[in-house]
Amino acid sequence: MFDSKGISFRSIVWCFSLVIFAALLLPWFRSHFTYLGLRWLYIFLFSFSLSVILTPVMRLVALKLRIVDIPGGRKIHEKVTPLLGGVAIVVAFSVALLANMVLERDVVFLLCGGVVVAMMGLVDDWRGVSARLKLFVQILVVLVLIHSGIVLNLFPHTMWGYWLNVLFTILWIIGLTNAMNFIDGMDGLASGIAAIMAMFMGMVAFQTDQPFMGWIAIAMMGSCLGFLPFNFGLKRPASIYLGDAGSTFIGFMLAALAIKGDWADSSRIVSFSAPVLIFWVLIYDMTYITVERIVTGKVKSLKEWIDYVGTDHIHHRLYALLGDRRKAVLFIYFLCATLGISAITLRYARPIDGVLLVIQAFLVTILVSIAEYSGRKR
């Protein structure tokens, strides 16, 4: 955190967060926040400060154990960079919820499932495991969630409706978990858009009077923002990366939380449209690369799709167009925020409004795709 030129911004943030966290541990502070109806702010500050404190610690641990990301292949960074940043987020997020007694039954299942997914990612960061094994573990975890009652409610309560809900639950959680992992390819990208998505999920939760969903989203937002100063800078490169443990944990928790929540009061279509808009960047990226790889013949089977690693994700394409990594990351931030704003307008919307906003999101990304393609052609 410290360099030869003096105290860096990261060290200032770390020291400031240490003071905040020490104050938050005092019983008076916690009771005062609760009395003022600001429990959400207490959870945010708790998760944020703890994430800031733990991130440099995990960097030292990663260097000691040689759990690092080495440049080469599809990776565009130039220096060996420690992983395990995601472990700081997992711990900060979990402790923030446990310390604030956010222990509803479904929350316990979500948290346990997320930890299992993160541990699988940690093994991959350290020793390396096959993509198929990770996918198998993720599917098992999702099946446990479904058995516990965390399942989509899109289709009628019939036999075929139940199995369709199960199928779409698996596709939703597994797809977004891995989409978040895939998009973690530039400094600050995954943690930044995760914080934006969590923010909008928290806003919708408080709109619809779902405090548990809001507290979980706020804890994720704080944990990701606490990690961000060490992962994204306007001048300095990242000093630590999320790793698979962090990206898969974040994607899993946000995707599963979206299923747990009630998104609107009017209809199932509107309720489905809100999370689709919030997660649209991930959905679009996963859909785009799948279609392009199949059409171009890069993958010809499910096995090849699982094992394929390429440089055709949205951040790679925008980097080729803009010629600057930070501009590409900021572009995706603003795209994610633009679509998230649409989601918070849907509480009392008509079904047709939800459909039109999803179509609008599709058209926006078509425009982005045209710009990307034109840039690549030049």
Query: 36-68: per-residue pLDDT in tens?
Result: 888 899 999 999 999 999 999 999 999 999 998
Question: Is the CA virtual torsion 312, 314, 319, 325 positive or negative?
Answer: negative
Please count the other Cβ atoms lying within 10 Å of the Cβ belonging to residue 116. 17
Q: How many CA atoms lie within 13 A of 208 on its CB side?
A: 24
Query: 255-302: per-residue pLDDT in tens?
Result: 999 998 777 666 777 788 889 999 999 999 998 888 888 888 888 777
Q: Please name the helix (run of DSSP H) or strand (run of DSSP E) that holds residue 7, with its range, or none.
A: strand 6-7
Question: Is the full-model pTM beyond 0.85?
Answer: yes
Would you state the pLDDT for residue 106?
Answer: 82
pLDDT at residue 10 greater than cutoff 80: yes
Structure tokens at 331: 């572009």
- Burial label for 66, CB within 10 Å (0-12, 13-18, 19+), is exposed
Please count the other Cβ atoms lying within 10 Å of the Cβ belonging to residue 143. 13
Asked if residue 87 lies in contact with residue 122, where contact means CB atoms within 8 angstroms, the answer is yes
pLDDT at residue 92 greater than cutoff 90: yes
pLDDT at residue 5 greater than cutoff 50: no
Please state the separation of Cα 49 from the chain's center in Å: 19
238 sits in the region (left: phi over 0; alpha: psi -120 to 50; else beta) called: beta
Residues 353-376: what's their mean pLDDT?
A: 82
- Burial label for 123, CB within 10 Å (0-12, 13-18, 19+), is middle
Q: Which residue ranges make up each domain of the chain?
A: 1-262, 265-378
Q: Using 50, 70 and 90 to split pLDDT, how confident is the model at 2? A: very low
Q: Using 50, 70 and 90 to split pLDDT, how confident is the model at 143? A: very high
Of 37, 29, 43, which is closest to residue 225 (Cα–Cα)? Answer: 43
Would you state the pLDDT for residue 191?
Answer: 95
Name residues whose C-beta falls within 8 Å of residue 74's C-beta, 6 or more positions apart in sequence: 185, 309, 310, 311, 316
Query: 176-220: per-residue pLDDT in tens?
Result: 999 999 999 898 999 999 999 999 999 988 888 888 889 999 999
Report helix, strand or coil for 68: strand
Asked if residue 246 lies in contact with residue 87, where contact means CB atoms within 8 angstroms, the answer is yes
Backbone φ and ψ for 263, nearest 5 degrees, come out as -100, -20
